[in-house]
Amino acid sequence: MRRAVVLLAVALAAGSCKKHDPVNDEALLVAGSTTMEMYVDPVVDAFRKKYGATNVVCDPGGAGAGVVAVKRGAIDVAMVARDLTNEEDDFRMRNYLVARDGIGVVVNSANAVASLSLKQLQKIFGGEVRTWNEVGGSPGPIHVVVRERSNRTRKSFGDLVMHGHDLAEDAREVDSVAGLVDVVKLDPGAIGYLTLQDETKELKTIKIEGVEMTRLTMLSGRYPLSRSFYLSVYAPGKLAERFVQFTISKEGQDVLAAHGLVPVY
């Protein structure tokens, strides 16, 4: 943890120098969850445009390191893609839920499988389970379809399902939502994943642990492939408060939704 905080401080210093605005020395430092960074960056851009020369630095470093840094006053806002632990939380910490993240698992409309467990899903995408009859379906090979390595949905899927395990070596990569839909639509053995906003009636979205993917099940946390995204502040200044309020405003929520998250306001 100590090493992560040091690395986070170095990254922030480098980012601050790179993005320093000599016209306005007011600066806001946002850091923490690596996953959240790719979603918060567009919000930062929109915030800068609205408030002019405000200097905002957004860097990753890990949620745990972000919480430590915000408590020590090294940063203004921590990005946390999970609930705070009992050890991290205290009466001065203010934790704002800003969005939820969720992934739907899709198969060909002719596929008989209606639900998969998280363990089955991990084994399928990891290449350990190779045929549909192993998970209650009809005989036939499973063909795993994934997005390209740089894709944020693939990153979220890895966080929520794979937990450090590698994807199947023969998984087919596609570089767009349309490409994934086309492949799964034409292949009875294919399986892939989409965000809620990309869900289509052309494919069958299966239940996970018996729970259907809907906006309500994501917001309630009942759907297993969903998680909460928070912005956390500790004795916040006016600029930190302004940024948080912007993020939970309709304007900020629209930016998050446009990048695949489920807005909560």
Number of domains the chain is built from: 2
CA contacts within 13 A on the Cβ side of 151: 18
Q: Do 232 and 132 reside in the same domain of the chain?
A: no
Give the type of residue at 49. Answer: K
C-alpha to C-alpha distances, 91 to 65, 87, 241, 248, nearest whole angstrom: 19, 12, 17, 22
Q: Do 42 and 138 reside in the same domain of the chain?
A: no
pLDDT tens by residue, 176-231: 999 999 999 999 999 999 998 899 999 999 999 999 999 999 999 999 999 999 99
The domain in which residue 161 lies consists of: 104-220
For residue 82, the Cα-to-chain-centroid distance in whole angstroms is: 10
Q: Do 158 and 92 reside in the same domain of the chain?
A: no
Closest CA to 96 of 223, 218, 222, 249: 249
How many Å apart are CA 234 and CA 135, to the nearest integer? 47
Q: Do 188 and 258 reside in the same domain of the chain?
A: no
Q: Which residue has the higher pLDDT, 113 or 56?
A: 113
Pairing of β 77-80 and β 27-32: parallel
Tokens 């087919």: give the residue.
Answer: 172
Cβ atoms 163, 122 nearer than 8 A:
yes
| CATH code assigned at 60 | 3.40.190.10
Q: Do 197 and 239 reside in the same domain of the chain?
A: no
Tokens 């259907």: give the residue.
Answer: 212
This prediction's pTM = 0.77
Q: Do 88 and 108 reside in the same domain of the chain?
A: no
Please provide the average confidence, as pLDDT, over all residues in the chain.
89
CA contacts within 13 A on the Cβ side of 249: 12
Q: Do 180 and 80 reside in the same domain of the chain?
A: no
C-alpha to C-alpha distances, 67 to 71, 90, 154, nearest whole angstrom: 6, 11, 25
Q: Do 6 and 52 reside in the same domain of the chain?
A: yes
Residue 149 has pLDDT above 90, yes or no: yes
Give 173's strand partners: 146
